[in-house]
Each structure stands twice: as structure tokens, then as C-alpha cells.
């Protein structure tokens, strides 16, 4: 009986690992957009945190350099938070809501 239970656990672990890999592959393809300045600065990034595009409204190019840098950083951080939230949502489905140890983030 114990041997059968162990085999069942091993199958479940393998299935979860396969599901995690599939979810990671899906997340690498998904993109989120972070914005700041009411949409004047936009950063598009993958859920793997790779920045794909940065769009800056031309009206900002004549403005203060420091303000523009702050807006780019804020848009990046907004995109990062959105990517992490989407990743957590997708991973919660895969792990069936099983809590992860503190500090452990999936998939990256």
C-alpha cells in the first residue's frame, strides 16, 4: 500500500512539474504594459521581465530630463508589478492554490 501511495505521489509531482513548465513557457510569451504620466510613458515587457518596447510621448522630449527619467522608471515598475501579478495568477492555477514558501517566486 505504501509503495502504491509513493508511486501516486511521484506521478503527481511529475504532472505538476510538467504543468509548471508549460505555464512558464506561456508566461514567457505574454506581455504586459506599464504606464506612467497618464499614459505618456509606456513600457511593454514579457512576464519574464524582458522589456520589449518603450514608448514616450513626443511632448515629453522637450521637458525636464529628470522628470522623463522618473516617468520611465515608474512605467517600468508598473509593468514589473503587472507581470508579477499575472505570473502569480497563472502559477496559482498550476499549483492549485498551494502556498509557496516565503520568498519563493515562480516561475523565475
Round the CA-based radius of gyration of the chain to a whole number and report it: 20
Angle between helices 2-29 and 65-94 (to 10 degrees): 150
- pLDDT of 42 reads 97
Our CA angle for 75, 52, 57, nearest 5°, is: 50
Q: What is the grid cell recorded at 24?
A: 512558464
Grid cell listed for 20: 509548471
Answer yes or no: are the C-beta atoms of 49 and 85 closer than 8 Å: no
User: What rounded mean pLDDT belongs to the chain?
Assistant: 84
Topology, domain 31-90: Ybab; Chain: A; (3.30.1310)
Task: Give this prediction's pTM.
Answer: 0.70
Q: Which tens digit of pLDDT belongs to each residue from 11-32?
A: 877 887 888 888 888 888 899 9
Cross-strand pairs, 55 = 42
62 vs 39, which has greater pLDDT? 39
Count of helix runs (H) and strand runs (E) in the chain = 2, 3
Amino acid at each position: 500500500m505504501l509503495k502504491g501511495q509513493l508511486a501516486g505521489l511521484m506521478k503527481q509531482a511529475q504532472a505538476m512539474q510538467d504543468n509548471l513548465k508549460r505555464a512558464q513557457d506561456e508566461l514567457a510569451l505574454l506581455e504586459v504594459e506599464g504606464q506612467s504620466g497618464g499614459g505618456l510613458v509606456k513600457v511593454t515587457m514579457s512576464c519574464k521581465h524582458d522589456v520589449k518596447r518603450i514608448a514616450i510621448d513626443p511632448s515629453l522630449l522637450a521637458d525636464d530630463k529628470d522628470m522623463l527619467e522618473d516617468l520611465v522608471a515608474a512605467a517600468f515598475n508598473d509593468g514589473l508589478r503587472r507581470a508579477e501579478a499575472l505570473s502569480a495568477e497563472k502559477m496559482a492555477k498550476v499549483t492549485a492554490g498551494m502556498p509557496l514558501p516565503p520568498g519563493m517566486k515562480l516561475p523565475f
